[in-house]
Homo-oligomer: A and B are copies of this chain.
Amino acid sequence: MKRNSRLSLALHTLSHMAHAPDSLRKSADIAAHAGTNPVVVRRVLGNLRQAGLLVSEAGHSGGWRLARPPQEITLADVYLALDERLAAPQIDDTAHGCSVEHALYDRVSKVMAEVEQTLIQKLSETTILEIRDSAD
């Protein structure tokens, strides 16, 4: 039970899918490999589906599949799909009109926004295909 395991799970799963982009995978199998629960997998992969990275098929012999070629999916796509902003603005609700608080918030928010952009930029330089290849 660890924080940010959602991103780990998502990246891990997609990187594996890059091996055989056309095969369907069941949430139960993915969960077993990742050491977690099928419902957790469906929750996380559901976000990736909304972002257009994955498609899921219902019914007998359903499952998950990449929505586009693995060389067109970057780590940044996955990060953004999960909507976990690393550089949250750290807003303080106890800002009782304190001018120092506002000055700090302005400055730190600006720095965080820049850092967030740096992170996304760096993550966008690697595709899940490259992760797959470097693992072989």
A contact set with B: CB distance below 8 Å: 2, 4-5, 7-8, 11-12, 15-16, 33-35, 75, 86-88, 90, 92-94, 96, 98-104, 106-108, 111-112, 114-115, 118-119, 122-123, 126, 131-132, 134-136
What are 6 A-B residue pairs whose CB atoms fall within 8 Å in the complex?
Answer: A4-B90, A8-B90, A103-B134, A107-B126, A114-B118, A115-B122
Which one of B11, B93, B118 contacts A115 once the chains associate, using CB atoms below 8 Å?
Answer: B118
Which A-B residue pairs are the 3 nearest by beta carbons?
A: A103-B135, A99-B135, A35-B94
Chain A interface secondary structure, helix, strand, loop or mixed?
A: helix
**How many Å from the CB of A94 to the closest CB on chain B?**
4
Known: A4-B90, A94-B34, A96-B35. A111 touches B119 (CB 8 A): yes
Which one of B16, B75, B98 contacts A107 once the chains associate, using CB atoms below 8 Å?
Answer: B75
CB nearest neighbor in B for A35: B94
